[in-house]
Amino acid sequence: MKKTVFFGALAATTVLTGAAFAGTLDDVKARGELICGSNPGLAGFGAPDATGTYVGFDADLCKAVAAAVLGDASKVKFVPTTGETRFTSLASGETDLLVRNSTWTFSRDTDLKFDFVAVNYYDGQGFMVKKDLGVSSAKELDGATICIQTGTTTELNLADFFKTNNISYTPVTIQDDAEGQRQFLAGACDAYTTDASGLASLRATLPDSANYVILPEIISKEPLGPVVRHGDNQWADIVRWTYYALVAAEEKGITKANIDELATKVASDPAADPEVKRLLGVGDDDLGAMIGLDKEWAKRAIAANGNYGEIFEANIGTATPIGLARGLNAQWTQGGLQYAPPFR
C-alpha cells in the first residue's frame, strides 16, 4: 500500500511539473550546464575517477548531450542518485536528464509520467555468489539471503523468480551499489542480485575477483536507457537523437579520430553518403534546426567521446576490467539490437 501511495504521489507531482519544465532546453542553455542524474558509483558506467570527474558508459552519454546542446562536453554536473531518489530527482526538476542504468517499464513510462527515449544497454538480472558457496545455479539458492536494492525492478523480479521456482529467500535491503558491495563482501548475504552488467562491474572492482561467480541464469529483461520528463517533447527529441547519432556513427564508420577529416572530405564530394553529411552537418539539410540546435550538434556529440561502439569498448568492453561482450548491444548488422532510425 505504501508503494502504491508513493507511485501515485510521484505521478501527480510529475503531472504538475510537466508543464513547468517543458522548456528544459532553454533552462540548460541559460544555465550553461546540463544536470545529469547519475549512479553514485558503478564502475564502467558512471563513477567519479581519482580527480572526482565522472566517467563511464552512461556518463559519456550525458557528455554527448552537453556537447550537442552547449558545445562543450565538460559542461555537465553529475548528481548522484539512489534507486529510490532517481525518479523524484528528475520529476522535481533537480536534474534535467537521468542516465543511470534505469529499466524502461510500463509503470515508469505511464504512471510515473516519464519518457524513456531509447535503450542504450540491453540487460537482464542475474546473481553473483562467492565461489566457496558451492552453488552453480540460482535455483540452488533456496533459503539464501540475497542483497537487493530497494526501489528497483530487481526487487519484484527476485520475488517472482523465487515464487515461480517454489524456493525461499531472505532479502537484505541496500540503498545503492556501494552499500551492496560492502554488505556482500562482509558476508551479510549469500548472493547479490542486480543487472548482469552491474554484477560484472562489481566483480571487476574486487581484488580477488576470481573467487566470485556470476550464475548463468538471466531472470528478466532490463532495457536500460536515458529518461526525461513527460511533456517536453523537444528535450526528449534532443536526447533521443543525440543517442542515435552515436549509434548511427558507428554503423557509418564515423569515429572520434576521423570525424574532422571525414567531414571535410564528404562536404566536397557530391557522391558521399547523404546520411553521413547530415550527421556531420555538412549537407544541405539542417537537422539541428528541427530540434532547436545548430547544424553541427551531432558532430559535436560524436566527437566528445566517439561513437557508440567506441564508448562501449572504452568503458565496459572485453578489453576493460568490466569485460562485457557486445551481445545484444551489437549493431543490428552484427546480430545485435542497436539500430538507429534514419537521419533524414
The pLDDT value recorded for residue 9 is: 36
Residue 123: its H or E element: strand 121-123
Q: What are the respective helix, strand and coil percentages of the chain, to the nearest 5?
A: 45, 15, 40
Domains of the chain: residue spans and CATH? 1-122+222-256+304-344 (3.40.190.10), 125-220 (3.40.190.10)
Mean pLDDT for back-to-back runs of 10 residues, the chain (344 residues): 36 42 88 96 92 96 98 97 92 96 93 96 96 95 93 88 96 85 91 93 89 94 96 97 98 98 95 96 93 97 98 97 96 97 95
The answer to whether residues 230 and 280 touch, using CB atoms and an 8 Å cutoff, is no
In terms of pTM, does the model score above 0.75?
yes
All cell numbers assigned to 144? 539464501
Nearest CA among 153, 152, 135 for reference residue 144? 135
**Which residues make Cβ contacts (< 8 Å) with residue 284, sequence separation at least 6?**
none
**Which residues make Cβ contacts (< 8 Å) with residue 141, sequence separation at least 6?**
127, 129, 135, 162, 167, 169, 190, 191
Side chain identity at residue 316, one-letter code: I
| Partners of 55 in beta bridges | 47
